[in-house]
Structure 1
Amino acid sequence: MKSSNPKNLTMEMVALKAGVSITTVSHVINKTRHVNQETKNAVLRVIKELNYRSAKMSKSTRSNEICIGVILADAREDYYNDMIKAIESVAADYGVSIIFCDSEADFEKEEKNIGLLLGRNVNGLLLAPADADRMPKILKNISIPVVLIDRQYESHNFLSVGINNFQSCYQGAGYMIKMGCKNIGFIGYADPVDTIRKRILGYKAALNEFDSAAIPKVLYLKYNGGDSFPLIKQFIIEEGLDGIICATSSLCAETIEVLDPLDAEMQKKINLLSYDDNRWLNYLKYPVSVISQPVAEIGNAAVENLLQLIEQSNYTRDIKRELLFDTTIIDRIANPLTVLPT
């Protein structure tokens, strides 16, 4: 029997009923990656059975006057650069306007940006929080739909779209151990960034499970803390690391700057794993493996879910929900350009 209220259906519901991941449903709907015919048919059957209509599928019925506000945490990061492109592309496909703001990971600027966008009468917000521990007061009684993207607040009642940061780093650290690393360090931020906190927990959990004798070694850097070169160099040398997990591509770039002038033997000894792939990683003299996030799918799902909430005539604030996508490991250590499922 078909659902009588398809606007209340979500991609998660389709995935659950079809017995596949949310990522797979997204690929089938948006044709972003090949899905084998049997799985594709199963997803399409559920879509038909539930009468599910994605934002793209119902584009023709939407007014072109809808405007979405987007506040990202730091446009300098590769992840957010790619997210901007993804959201712009999706918004164009869906026929809606979009206004971007960059909080530069600053709580006060985030709060100011929210007020600015509300003053422009946006219909909904996509937001990557600057500070996990502080939610702007203006959000607590906001009347328009809000979807969190990539990051979350510690306490909130919104939908959040991203990846499982704990699980992805747990699997990443396990991968490094399987590559033969015995002394793995983690480089992240000391600031209250939700994604980094969970990645550190995943890293520590993997060390505890795969090598109980291993001692976690974490270097906490300030997000906008100036010259981190000497701190990273001291961390690598004093801890005698043979493996490093970088929490972001920016931290990876800084770590590579530190490694470059070191002697060849030390460079050869240290394996790197970072979040978020970039073309320049293919041209380094030593390999950097990557935990790759499906940025296009995350951006697509965030916009789609926000539009579904906007279109609900009886929209009310939701309980906390998470829509998490799968990551992959691009293995450049053992076998260059090999993609491993996570």
Structure 2
Amino acid sequence: MRRASAKPPRGRGEEIILRGTQLERGPCCLWCRGSTPNQRKHAVKPTSERRRPVTRGDVALHAGVSTAVVSYVVNAGPRNVAPATRERVLDAIRDLGYRPNAAARALKLGVSGIIGLVVSDNTNPFFAEYARAVEREAAGIDLSVILTNSALSASLEHQLVQKLVSRQVDGLLLASTDDDPDLESAKDAHIPVVLIDRAGPEEGFASVGVDFREASRTAVEHLIAHGHRSIGIISGLSGGTTTRDRELGWAEALAVAGLPEGPMVRVDFGRIGGYEAGRRLLALQDRPTAIYAISDMQAIGLLRSVHEAGVRVPEDLAVISFDGSAESEYSWPPLTAMRQPVAEMARAAIEALGDGMTGITAHQTFRAELVIRRSCGCDAPDDEVSG
């Protein structure tokens, strides 16, 4: 068994990533043994190394023109563009592989050039990253974003939606605190709405989210592959579908493996909640050997309580979290996590707003990625911080 390092980390651990893959079960993680070359072959690169989508701003920079000029070329108006400039823009589009979509063009024909984004908790790094990704995508089609925070309050969320509607935004993205949000004002104003961070479809609205249940199964299966037979969960106080699906995925993975459900503690989604949950779990006479926390912030709070108790991670207790925000890279040890594809979901949400202007609504499901770092017990060697 490895000894806990007394030195602070030089950087984040090397990341190994799988897309919703079920690992074979065994006494140790197969990545540590290096015995699955086929899985290594199909692993994907960390998000920071993958090519991001080309935006209108990239084309403008490449061609040496403004984004407005790129819009005139793409949309064939409303202003004329000099032939030489037009050719330069078209060359940039070909060079960069830029693909303007009809939905985005429809959204751009709105009145205000502004979309609203309501998140449930702007102190959560996941939503902060989501907001940045939405702003990047919106900027690529010359839209501005008004960001608001409901602070986990359904009544405040309702007020914010009404205020954004009164400002005549061209579209609304909503991470709701409620499984059945009140959106009548947006409907009456014919403003397209896309529900983000959703577990499934909502009648009458487009929605975007990961398969929370599958992702949770993958996380717990990975802990089982390390030989853990007592796996607890830190869940949320919210009884919403996204929380329930994460709990169901945990329970299903244990049931398939013939294992009993470990202890469950429901707390808020922040660091304090995770810290308190950790203290309660560590006080158990028969405490679990592994814990699945359904948010990064809970896991980071858990790590503090564990360190204070003199319990080593992962030697004495393995930990996996959900979200895969940037903060999960810089905890100690770095957190193995199910990472949500934020950039891809933000792009899909913006495109869905454009579809909504033509009456098209659908639910888009994404798969979370298993990002393997140190907290689960895998032998991920230290690497330099990438930035």
Task: For residue 268 of structure 1, report the CA deviation from its aligned partner.
Answer: 2.5
Q: CA 1:246–1:307 in 2, change beyond 3 Å: closer, same or farther?
A: same
The structure whose Rg is larger is 2
Q: CA 1:145–1:130 in 2, change beyond 3 Å: closer, same or farther?
A: same
Question: 1:334 is matched by which residue type in structure 2?
Answer: C
Question: 2:279 is matched by which residue type in structure 1?
Answer: K
Q: What corresponds to 2:211 in structure 1?
A: 164
Q: What corresponds to 2:264 in structure 1?
A: 218
1:326 is the counterpart of 2:359: no
How many pairs are equivalent? 286
Assess if the C-alpha contact under 8 Å between 1:260 and 1:267 holds in 2: no
Task: For residue 281 of structure 1, report the CA deviation from its aligned partner.
Answer: 4.0
Q: CA 1:191–1:174 in 2, change beyond 3 Å: closer, same or farther?
A: same
Task: For residue 152 of structure 1, report the CA deviation from its aligned partner.
Answer: 5.8
Assess if the C-alpha contact under 8 Å between 1:132 and 1:154 holds in 2: no
1:193 is the counterpart of 2:246: no
Question: 1:244 is matched by which residue type in structure 2?
Answer: I
Task: For residue 136 of structure 1, report the CA deviation from its aligned partner.
Answer: 5.1
Task: For residue 157 of structure 1, report the CA deviation from its aligned partner.
Answer: 2.6
Assess if the C-alpha contact under 8 Å between 2:199 and 2:245 holds in 1: no
Q: What corresponds to 1:336 in structure 2?
A: 380
Task: For residue 217 of structure 1, report the CA deviation from its aligned partner.
Answer: 2.5
Deviates more, 1:147-156 or 1:125-134: 147-156
Question: 2:53 is matched by which residue type in structure 1?
Answer: N
Secondary structure of residue in 1 paired with 2:229: coil
Supply the distance in 1 between the matched residues of 2:234 and 2:353 (Cα, whole angstroms): 33
Q: CA 1:119–1:266 in 2, change beyond 3 Å: closer, same or farther?
A: closer
Q: What corresponds to 1:202 in structure 2?
A: 249
Summarize deviations over 1:209-252 as a string: whole Å, max 9, x none.
12x23224221114589766444312233151111111111111
Q: What corresponds to 1:96 in structure 2?
A: 143
Task: For residue 192 of structure 1, report the CA deviation from its aligned partner.
Answer: 2.8
Q: What corresponds to 1:147 in structure 2?
A: 194
RMSD: 3.2
Summarize deviations over 1:23-51 as a string: whole Å, max 9, x none.
xxxx999359xxxxxxxxxxxxxxxxxxx
Supply the distance in 1 between the matched residues of 2:205 and 2:108 (Cα, whole angstroms): 26
Match of 2:310 among 245, 256, 263: 263
Assess if the C-alpha contact under 8 Å between 1:133 and 1:154 holds in 2: no
Secondary structure of residue in 2 paired with 1:98: strand
Q: Percent identity?
A: 22
Summarize deviations over 1:143-175 as a string: whole Å, max 9, x none.
221111113688543111111111111111111
Relative contact order: is structure 1 or structure 2 higher (C-alpha 8 Å, sep ≥ 6)? Answer: 2
Summarize deviations over 1:278-329 as a string: whole Å, max 9, x none.
445445443421101110110011011112322x2xx37x4xx320112211
Structure 1 runs not aligned, ≥5 long: 1-26, 33-51
Question: 2:157 is matched by which residue type in structure 1?
Answer: E
Structure 2 runs not aligned, ≥5 long: 1-49, 56-98, 383-387
Q: What corresponds to 1:298 in structure 2?
A: 345
Assess if the C-alpha contact under 8 Å between 2:232 and 2:291 holds in 1: yes
Task: For residue 123 of structure 1, report the CA deviation from its aligned partner.
Answer: 1.6
Summarize deviations over 1:87-122 as a string: whole Å, max 9, x none.
111111011122111111110010000100011011
Q: What corresponds to 1:35 in structure 2?
A: none
Q: What corresponds to 2:281 in structure 1?
A: 235
